[in-house]
Amino acid sequence: MTAETTAAATATTAAERGEGDENMATTAKDLVMAARADLDLVSPEDASSEAASGRSVFVDVRQTEEWQHGHIEGAVRAPRGLLEFLADPASPRHDEALDPARRVIMVCHSGTRAALAGNTLQTLGYTDVALLEGGMEAWLAAGLPIVEHEFAGI
């Protein structure tokens, strides 16, 4: 067998074994699924009860315009692009409402950005991170209250 034939046989065998291409990039979906697997998933009703009892705080990672269209009362606004700086106690931009020892419930529109953000908080040392299952869509569908703003638009 030549080197080319051996390489082709090995590649076929790897494909037959179901092994993927080692150079294939991870997809966004893969990242979200992995992040969700590491988070406690909480229903809107349970999350509402937790926050009302003071046991947890919501961290809303949506963009400013989304926030202005309505958010959960008491939620910490931490757009995903600023999350690390707002969550890191060593950062000059740290938001005092964010404590690595306190339970946080991550929120976005549907739960995908919040899952990735929750994974980031775990990397920063947050020990009790949950995900609002279904995000704001599920919160609203459950009939739970939001703080609404008068939207001025541009």
- Per-residue pLDDT tens for 11-40? 444 445 455 556 678 999 999 999 999 999
Model pTM?
0.81
Secondary structure (DSSP) of 10-65: HHHHHHHTT---TTPPPPHHHHHHHHHHTSEEE-HHHHHHHHHTTSEEEEE-S-HH
* pLDDT greater at residue 154 or residue 39: 39
Q: For 79-95, what is the mean pLDDT?
A: 96
Rg of the chain taking only CA atoms, in angstroms: 21
- 111 closest CA partner among 52, 27, 36: 36
Q: What's residue 9's pLDDT?
A: 42
Domains annotated for the chain, with CATH where assigned, are 26-141 (3.40.250.10)
Query: Are 55 and 104 in contact, with CB atoms under 8 Å apart?
Result: no
What token pair was written down for 5? 């034939």
- Per-residue pLDDT tens for 133-149? 999 999 999 999 999 87
Lowest mean pLDDT among 22-31, 48-57, 93-102: 22-31
- 134 closest CA partner among 104, 150, 110, 107: 110
The interaxial angle of helices 112-123 and 28-37, nearest 10 deg, is 60
Q: What's residue 2's pLDDT?
A: 39
In DSSP terms, 129 is beta-bridged to 104
